[in-house]
Structure 1
């Protein structure tokens, strides 16, 4: 695939990729609009199953994504590539053999793309580290399914997610969490912190601050979470994974929540290139 075409596609793929890699720009925008918000990572959807029950139409191609409406890449009829998880279904409507040449681009953690090739006669799972050629027997229905399930999943940005924040005390009142806007709450609240500016909590009473937070490891370190109230440092620790915290608040002075080591990194995406497919009918191919 030409470099220009591949680079152009990455502009389009970013919408689907943002669903899987904690997006800095969308995240910052949401903070600017609402100050904080629900912050959860979606589960990766299953790959689309091959629909082999419908009547076969020779030459029909279905190229579907695990994250619709985004396309999984590009397919020209004889070659193409996967940039996000998806399935390519090819219909030849007769038995034979498919000769397939594939090439992988390794992710930043060194992982190779996985190619799953399935017909009624076989199922092959191949990690495509380098360019290689596969010979795949095709059964009587004449259908082939090629799938790419393992896109890059590494964290891009060191961001702390506040999964739950509760202030418990002797009364029920409305506290506030503030960044660009003031959001009042009397029960629990969620949000996120990514920089020194962070978020400001204005407690409505002394009490106990309960927090459940999580953060990804980027470049070997998780978010360094610092909580201060006035001149007192209530917490200064690195968060790796999910952590529950209990912190006493002796006054209603403002509490500052910050991440002191924000970082982002360049991720080399894992891509799978199908450089050539050639179908040989049974009359011209051995099905052994």
Structure 2
């Protein structure tokens, strides 16, 4: 089933709901993630996509979690066009289930900071930060929105993993009252939030994002505005890796050339780019200003 995000309103309340099962499974497969790392990164990528839902198509957002838990740093890049990528420093880190029989994401993340960087059409990216509240990701993003952006909101994220370690369901929602929201609408929303089942349980149903929105807006005039497809995708390319290698300079490339072969692995998608001594020699000449090939700069 295709992953997707819905944008909606209910009176003076703005809502976003996403199904991210496929892209979370893609991240698990590419990075060979443990169940704990799958749950944590799946939540972070979903949270990033929900925040990016307010951006323009050519804009992006990076959500970075720096905790002292066994997972290390987690990073997700989400784009206004529905693309997302991410990685975990320690993808194999795992912990026993907690007393509720759930993956202890908070313990895996630990204490630390959440950083959110927005890449908009402004000249300089803007980065906000807030302390981690629980390490469970959703609560941390909610706290960040309240502290750094003065936005009262509610974020919920869920990832359910099968016994064969594949992702059975993943997704979440982001809800925020707009200035014109009435006290009655906010009270009804809060009542619905208290009654809402776990996100992953709702997402197991057909049309999971629609079901989430309906449960959140029971008694309110729900209006779904659009649907956007989502997917795990990385903009890395051989050309961009070549440009990075050229930037190292001819001396560094000469040293790599002597070793005979170099392999560069993308942190975000694990794609491998191999360069033999001949390819490295060509890049070295280009770095020294002696190449005559095409411009290898990034788009």
TM-score normalised to structure 1 length: 0.26
More strand by share: 1
More helix by share: 2
TM-score normalised to structure 2 length: 0.26
